[in-house]
Amino acid sequence: MLRKLSHFLTLGLTLATTLGQGQSDLRIPATDDGLPGTGPLRRYEWFQNLWLEKRQGWANQVQADQDALVFYGDSITQGWGDIGKAFPGVKCANRGISGDTTRGLLVRLQGDVLSLNPKGVVLLIGTNDLEENAEPPVIASNMKLLIAGLKKHNAKMPIVLCQVFPSSASKARPAEKIIQVNKLYQQIVQGDPQVTVIDTWTLFANDTGDAKKGEFPDLLHPNEKGYAKWAAALHPILATLDFTDTEPDTFALEPDFTSLFNGRDLTGWSYLPTTKKMKTQAANWKKTDPNAPPWPIVEQKAIFDGKTTTPDGRYMAKNGRLIVTTPPEGRKIQQLWTTKDYSGNFTLKLEFRATPNADSGVFLKGKQLQCRDFLLAGPYTELKAFRPLKWNELIVRANGNRATCTVNGEIIEDNFQIPESGPFGLEGDRGQVDYRRLRIKAEN
């Protein structure tokens, strides 16, 4: 009771302070003296007017927007409008201001975001800094302060960091600069489980690293198609963070099929000891590629019956989904195996969806079949039936040592060689991949 009273007193004080601010307090400060961060803070007349207009309106919504999922950024965020329509049932607050920079977000962080006590924050910022000739290290230093400010406010609040979208050198936003910014952003949050980075650059970039006219007509702002792709890319992440897909899966198992995953926990799944061969493979990989992802060594078998999450958080069960989570390291090899070995002919069915450029794999009696965001990550980049960012059905029909594998009915492998017996498994590398409805049928 005392805790609730304290919360409401704090809320009342925050609201009174915010509503009591004069126009001058909500305006862009006249000078940079004493302001957080470095680099550009825009002061064009049109921007000052928009900044004030937006912030005055939001000052009257502080109480109504408490506990929202806050989308924080510039014109790309502002242009999404009512973001809640893309995520039914999720309370969202749009705090984007057209033309804003990373430093601008630092200046208004307390009033526009932290005062809402958000349940989560989705960040997309940095493109306007480039137009103002800010160098990537300057932009990244401001992002580091933004992340620190959010974490200080709430050490458990999830933060989703979207990579800066592609644009064009003709917009003073060349691909090489954006790539550098995104690389620095990843380094800032390396190993931080509170922050999930989503590869929204690869999602939108064309072959030369620029935005596509069909999704960014002015090579800067997404159209309806672009916003739909952004929403679809965010959806699995928000589901893992308990914002969306909160209802259990009601799928009914077909006759003669046995479920490999109960939809509730990781019963029947395990980490197996790392073999000598795999240890050698990991060591050689690191020698030939200094940027090779970590490959944790498992010394003893660990069974996860009744557990909803592996100890390292790499795999989790939630509402019918077996989730290979986004590794805080950016890339990290891990493998989850069934506790049971299988032999004989079989039909395996499952559904999967992958975040942009995500990389996973399905082990068939120990032999890995790549399972990824195929059109971006490969190897099956020419698939016609694949549905990016949505659920796809994988079916494997094995006869002896040969398997035929299809995705949404389209063949990806017609002579895939597999062992006589062994466990099934799921690998994680980069990005998030969700699996559901994993089931097997023994065949004659």
**72 touches 96 (CB < 8 A):** yes
pLDDT in tens, 336-380: 999 999 999 999 999 999 999 999 999 999 999 999 999 999 999
- CATH number for the 24-240 domain, one of 3.40.50.1110, 2.10.10.90, 3.20.20.70, 1.10.10.10? 3.40.50.1110
- CB-based contacts of 286: which residues, under 8 Å, 6+ apart? 292
Mean model confidence pLDDT for the chain? 94
pLDDT of residue 278: 87
The reported pTM is: 0.94
Q: Which two tokens stand for residue 121?
A: 């924050």
Mean pLDDT calculated for residue range 382-398: 98
Closest CA to 160 of 123, 135, 129: 123
pLDDT of residue 19: 39
Q: Which two tokens stand for residue 422?
A: 């062994």
Concatenated DSSP letters for 115-156?
A: GG--SEEEEE--HHHHHTT--HHHHHHHHHHHHHHHHHH-TT
Q: Which two tokens stand for residue 55?
A: 């912030």
In the chain, what are the domain boundaries?
24-240, 258-443
**433 touches 360 (CB < 8 A):** yes
Burial 217-231 (b: 16+ CB within 10 A, else e): eebbbbeeebbebbb
User: Residue 428 class from Cβ within 10 Å (0-12 exposed, 13-18 middle, 19+ buried)?
Assistant: buried
CATH 2.60.120.560 fits 258-443, yes or no: yes
pLDDT of residue 7: 43
